[in-house]
Chains A and B, each alone.
Chain A
Amino acid sequence: MTIYTATRRFLPMVVACVCLAAPALDLNDLLNPDAAVLKKPVADAKQAEVKPVEVKPVEVKPVEVKPVEVKPVEVKPSPAAVSDDAAAAAAAERKLAEERSRLERERAELEARLKAAEDARAAAAKAKADEAARVEAVTKKARGDLAEAEAATKKIRGDLAEAQATTKKIRGDLAEAEAERKSLEKERAELEARLKAAEEARAAAEKKAAEAEAARKKSEAEIGDVAKKALAERQAREQAEAARRVAEQRAESERRAAEKAVAEKAAAEKRINYLMNPDPDERADKPRIPAAPKPGENSASAQKQVQKPVHKPGEKPAAAKPGEKGGAGKPSAAAVKKPLTGREAVITAERTDYDRKEGVILFDRNVHVDDEQYQMHADRLFVFLDGTNDLKRLVAIGHVAITNEEKTAYCARATYSKETGKIVMYSGNGIQSKLSEGGKKGSTVIGERITFWVNTEQVEVDNPVISMPGGAFKGGDAKDLLQGGGKSKDGKSKGGRK
């Protein structure tokens, strides 16, 4: 391999040296000996000096060829001349034959030489091709070996670098392990120190805990004593409080008994006064007494309900409003009839819905209509309007209470239709329809359904219960039984099943 490598490396140098040593030879001749053989004859190859011939291009001019006119000559030979010419011709023919044979020999010789030269050229070419093939094979092999050697070298270098890196890493790990070992040793020393300190602290804490436990037991004992004292004091206080409460209750019951006695005395005086003069209008300087209780408990309770209108907790009763008249036990409206001031009516409610498209106004929760001529309370009030926004119908639902100057009405549900001018009051939910007259008559009508015509002030009652003050018939008329001047729809006495 070394030989071929050296050959490959030094071959151009050898060729250059040969070219310098034999300047007569051309490099192309060396590389192509067949051409050199073909250029020179084999015999003169060593002696002949080949000089470069400078060939100049010859300018070729066209030659004008003129045709020559040939005229035939008529020749007439003589007999003597004919014999001399024949000899000369024979001699010339012989000379020509000799010359021809010589030339043929030369030609044969040249052909032989040419053939030999061709053979030599072919042999040389074959030898050269063989040599070139051999050199090529050797070169190829040498190149393969070289590539293989380079790859091996590269691999060795890689292995070397890897080994160096591994070595470096191992050294780093070694150093790190060494540092870690030192750190662990240091940590171990610290832990040992802390363990020792903790042991000491634990011992101190145990000592302190023992002391605290002793103190706690001591304070618990003290607290127990204080608690016992406090319990005894609290029991004593409760006993005193109970005694005080009993005394207060006793005083309260005594006060109530005294008030009751006073009230009974006042009622008895009122009763006496009423019995002495039953017509309340005759007692201008004295407050009007409530309607005379009818015999029996029901009437008394009904009258009590009349004086106490249905309303929600916290709501001001309609009958208790200042300036309002018509409630039982109040001065007669007829006696103190006020002129109308034309003040505005006020409707209040928790919530109001006005649907203009449907023509409905809903007042919801704690509805109160405060008009100059009447007051109304209800849980819910519907106002139905017609196309021109005029009132068409009213519906009041839930704890309905209406009062005006003289009358007071209670019911569970009430409706009013403007077209018919009719108010209908319905019972329900434990509430009976009730119409009370607060005027001089002071009558009360209770029924399942009470219908009242506003225009004619006629009343129609289903299942009526009528309460009237005592002496109502005294000098009165049957038509005054109910509302002042009112009459039944059919013109007969009011009340009774329709």
Chain B
Amino acid sequence: MLRLRKAFAQCVAHLDSPAENVVFPLETLPDGTVKSRLMARRAQMFMDSGLIWGEGIRVEQYGKDGKVDSFLEAENCVVDRKTKTGWVDGDAVMTYGKSTVKGRGVHFSVDREFIKIFSKSEIRTAGLKIDPAKTFDVEGRK
């Protein structure tokens, strides 16, 4: 995490005409339709370190009907493609159904499947009931 935080600062210091309004698919379904897509207001790839820096990030995940199922918005982000880990230095909001997760300073790993929110964490979800008769679902589904 500290490595990525340091790398984020270095990336910001070495920015050199990043690409603007970047859009590219992340995942596709077997029939070829896009499952998730990343959009960034500005982005730059650092070939020497394998890091990708982005600003104004929005990752959308689509349902089978093509509508936005969930999305993630982050002020900025740096992703290490080798370790598949990333760090959001600013605010980040993840929305999935009726659940929303907010935080500032987020460390995540795709391989190890964890998210750490380091400050101002807030989760809004519906159906959080301590009641066995009702289904508790952190993803907000009832």
The chain A residue sitting closest to B118, CB to CB, is A351
Does B126 make an interface contact (CB < 8 A)?
yes
The chain A residue sitting closest to B127, CB to CB, is A345
Does A117 make an interface contact (CB < 8 A)?
no
Stretch at the interface among A187-195, A272-280, A330-338, A384-392: A384-392
Does A347 make an interface contact (CB < 8 A)?
yes
Q: Which residues on A sit within 8 Å (CB–CB) of B126?
A: 342-345
The chain A residue sitting closest to B111, CB to CB, is A357
Interface residue SS majority, chain A: strand
Does B128 make an interface contact (CB < 8 A)?
yes
- Pick the contact of A344 from B113, B121, B125 — CB < 8 Å? B125
Is the pair B112, A363 in contact by a Cβ cutoff of 8 Å? no
Give the complex CA separation of A354 and B139 in angstroms.
12
Does B16 make an interface contact (CB < 8 A)?
no
Does B124 make an interface contact (CB < 8 A)?
yes
- Binary contact track A75-101/B, C-beta < 8 Å → 1, others 0: 000000000000000000000000000
Does B136 make an interface contact (CB < 8 A)?
yes
Does A199 make an interface contact (CB < 8 A)?
no
Is the pair A418, B132 in contact by a Cβ cutoff of 8 Å? yes
Tell me, rounded to whole Å, the shortest Cβ–Cβ distance linking A217 to chain B: 61
Stretch at the interface among A61-69, A174-182, A369-377: A369-377
Q: Count A/B pairs, Cβ under 8 Å.
A: 88
Q: Which residues on B sit within 8 Å (CB–CB) of A352?
A: 101, 103, 115-117, 121, 123
- Pick the contact of B131 from A346, A349, A356, A454 — CB < 8 Å? A454
Give the complex CA separation of A345 and B112 in angstroms.
28
Is the pair B121, A348 in contact by a Cβ cutoff of 8 Å? yes
A354-B115 contact in complex given A348-B121, A416-B130, C-beta closer than 8 Å: yes
Within 86-141 of B, Cβ neighbours of A (below 8 Å) are at 98-101, 103, 112-133, 135-139
Q: Which residues on B sit within 8 Å (CB–CB) of A346?
A: 122-124
The chain A residue sitting closest to B112, CB to CB, is A357
Give the complex CA separation of A485 and B3 in angstroms.
58
Top 3 nearest A-B pairs (CB, nearest first) are A391-B136, A352-B121, A345-B128
Sample of 18 further A-B pairs with CB below 8 A, known A350-B121, A356-B113, A373-B129: A345-B124, A345-B125, A346-B122, A351-B121, A352-B103, A352-B116, A352-B117, A353-B116, A354-B117, A355-B112, A355-B113, A356-B115, A363-B121, A385-B138, A391-B137, A416-B130, A418-B136, A454-B130
* Cβ contacts A to B, 18 pairs, < 8 Å: A344-B98, A347-B124, A347-B125, A348-B121, A352-B103, A352-B117, A353-B115, A353-B117, A354-B115, A354-B116, A355-B113, A356-B115, A363-B121, A371-B128, A374-B130, A385-B138, A389-B137, A423-B130
Which chain A residues have a beta carbon within 8 Å of chain B's beta carbons? 342-357, 361, 363, 369, 371, 373-374, 383, 385, 389-391, 394, 416, 418-419, 421, 423, 454-455
